[in-house]
Chains A and B, each alone.
Chain A
Amino acid sequence: MEKFVLDKMDSALLKSIADLNDIPTGAFSLRKNGQPVKVNTTPNINILRKQDKPGIDIYVRADTKGETVHIPVVITESGITDVVYNDFYIGKNADVIINAGCGIHNDGCSDTHHNGIHRFFLDEGAKVLYVERHYGEGDGEGKRVLDPVTEVYLGKNAGLEMQSTQIKGVDSTVRTTKGELGDGASFVVTEKIMTHGHQVAETNFDVNLNGLDSSVHVTSRSIATENSVQRFNSRVYGNNKCFGHVECDAIIKDNGKVISTPEITANCVDANLIHEAAIGKIAGEQIIKLMTLGLTESEAEAEIINGFLK
């Protein structure tokens, strides 16, 4: 397992999903074609293989600051179905970055699936920035399917910021995110999705604001082009004095379709919940403004999309 060397395709996928040029230093676990291939731990971060099912348990010691855990997954063989269960236990007052992502290269005619089931357990005062990028490529007829599940359990005053991005090449995705928040806990989610062709993307958020002064901010920015379809379902339950804000902005092009359902439920009279949803094509005036700066219509559109998904 320790002699693993990245080939050209692995490197390209790693670059796309984690901006890595090589195997990173620090704590990491690299999974390829359904198998763990390389693991590294640090004095503060331990990674153990699960005995009962595929996946790992990641333990971050209390008060660990400034370390990054990389857990990339690359799939280069066609027809693989890979389900992996990763649990993160973040100690009191630790503050770390977790960089996950899956890159699929499928040149074959069979579908390739990857489902990462990630659970986060944050102790009091712990902070995590969780970055997840999904990317697919390949010329085969086989589909690239990613169905990630993220469950977040936040203790007192803990905070998790999740940035998830799916820009290209994933044929079908159902993204499920659940959150249970304790007193003073904060959960921030920024999701960016761009779909094209006949792709389908569905997002389901379920967040329970159980703790006093807990808060959630969900920002979803999506672009559906060609014949692709996106569904955004968000359910936020205010079960205490809390604050919840859900914002869903979508740009549609060609025959793209977006269905957005931001649902908020106040189960406590002191819950303060807001939702905003907007769907529309690129505003003509935005294109005109950029054209007055000398950009062609297609350059203007590309700049607007890049900015929207930045």
Chain B
Amino acid sequence: MIPFNHNDRNSGFATIFRFASTLSASLALSVSASAEESVDFAREVRPILARHCFACHGPDQAQRKAELRLDTKEGAFGDLGGYAPVVAGKVDDSEIIARIVSEDADEVMPPGGPEKRLKPEEVATLKRWIAQGAPWKNHWAFEPPVKAALPTVKSPEKAKSPIDRFVLARLESAGLTLNPEADKATLIRRVSLDLTGLPPTPEQVAEFMSDTAPDAYERLVERLLASPGYGERWARMWLDLARFADTKGYEKDRSRPMWRYRDWVIAAFNRDLTYDRFTLEQLAGDLLPESTPEQRLATAFHRNTLTNEEGGTDDEEFRSIAVKDRVDTTAQVWMGLTFGCAKCHSHKYDPISTTDYYRFYAYFNQTADADRGDEFPTETFPTPEQSAELKRLYDEIASVESGLASGPPRRETFDKIKTLRDRYNAIEAACRTPVFKELAADKRRMTKIHKRGNFLDPGDTVTAGTPESFPGLAAGQPDDRRAVAAWLFDPSNPLTSRVAVNRHWAAFFGTGLVATQEDFGSQGEPPSHPELLDHLAISFREANYSLKALCRMIVTSATYRQSSKASADLLAKDPANRLLGRFPRARLEAEMIRDASLRVAGLLSPRMFGPSVMPYQPEGIWRSTYNTDKWITSPGEDKHRRGLYTFIKRTSPYPAMITLDAPSREFCTIRRITTNTPLQALVTLNDTVYVEAAQALARRMIRETDATDVKARIARGLKLALVREPKPDELEALAALYADRLAAYRSDATAANAMATEPLGPVPAGIDTAELAALTNVANVILNLDEFLTKP
């Protein structure tokens, strides 16, 4: 067990070298030998051992039975006094097989009755593996990525990028191939949604459609990557990981200004801050020499943890919960590892001991924050506009005060000063953001293990360090949070780059190459395309961790550009689309549904940044304990801002978003699980947000159509929503609906007026109310079409 051997901690490069040779040897083997015959240890055998054996014979020393561990080569092949669990090449001499197939209730493994027994095919796999010489390999994700040669494929002309070669190789071996490229309308809608979270505007569509150059698509991608919407879309993804919200959580759940951090994330994506710097600044921006305000603001990432202001709480209890959250979140976000369970006991499946946990915890245990109601330490980060306003107020206060010094004291003058000062303080408070600040040298905390996770039950004292089983820190690193960032991006770290590219892959394709984005450990899924994952991981590193470069790599591939049409053959051979023989359609994310509806309706505000806003929300949703904050619908265009600017109150999150699978942001969410429910249908049919969008779309359909022909209007609406040209039968169906509804509204003027105007406002001059109401019904259908709610 090379990487788990403690003596090897400081010889990372030697380790990599040995891994690399093992891996390429095995790759060569798997290419030359038939997949039917040769058992792949990492993919087939190790998962069986992990699932059935590691809980008692794995990394957790406290739980280990019979002093036997099967997660290490030494353990699996070790002499147990004349016999061994595994004897290479000799199935009959291997004790694990004897125990697994035993009919003796006292002997059989695993214990626990028939439900726990291995399936016959699992036993067969183990036997074949032993018969083939029992080759042993470390868990795949703990080996460094290796850039494999591009596989030879039958149809190389279908490949536009290295990605496609890896995808094609697997498809072809299953008798499949890539779908043809999607049409241009589909492509621009797909790539716009993916890169900017927004459907394209008619102008963007026209520009792309009329561009007949061979690289029209590539240039479209560049325009989208350069557009401000790019940062907003990817910030949304990151904010789930950062558990960003506008309140502190727990009982009182008061507001706190975190929006400056949200804006930092948007800006960081837009200027393509490289992933290593993006990481360093969020984990340790405050510790950088001569840190800038922006770098200190970035550390609010880990100040998104909850603060418990409930009366009678022990602040140290909730401080330690916050620090644990930071440890768990860091491991999940950057390394795809489930550290969390090691806070109480050593991990049962992955090599993370309780000592490892608290050594890592020690890095995060030296910040000054302490679950205080005032969120100390904070720093004010005024926007340029706020800075100007603060300066103006400051000068005005100074000027009024100097007037006071020269003349007799007057009540109005004092009042004026107070008003100005209040205004000044309010602006400052609105941008005063919790940040990381390291404790002074003489105030540093001693870190002790929390026995069984209980902060009141301290165990041994530990010093800061990275988990022993992973390649260690390079020499010369500072002994603080900067070391964590350095360790994550050390060339020997096998996980960071893989986890990042996998997350991006999942954002485009719905499912990661490693489907369990949150778990790259031995309980997670093995990658569907291991060589592709490694290729991307290394390419990302070679591109200096540019996230825009990573996006570009993915969206310019033929795999991404293919049609999503699923033929019966494809559905039969690859129902779950793991081989990617078609582009996977996916329902839009909660925020995207909002943004797309508002944009198509022409309502979406382009305003970026600033304090979170309050769009329409039903009455009576906010009833938090000891908190009298009110939801007051934002005035003007602020109620039509993009979804990521919606105020998130943790104990009472925005209902429409939650219904559409957005998280409550109380904890780090690596992956949203998409569901399909009737309550979601009710949101897009009836929520005021979507009713207003339908009203606005109907008006737009009239406004942007020359003729008064209703089919022309409907065609305009469909084109705006779906980008493609509408089909005659679609127009027929919607025109028939229109006629029926028009008749109904002609006989009910009150209903017509309500449908056309509440909440959007009076019917514009020259438009017939009943017609507008009927067209609003049509728009309501358009905004609920499966095609509209789905990335094509």
Are A and B part of the same complex? no
Q: Which residues of A contact B (CB under 8 A)?
A: none
Q: Which residues of B contact A (CB under 8 A)?
A: none
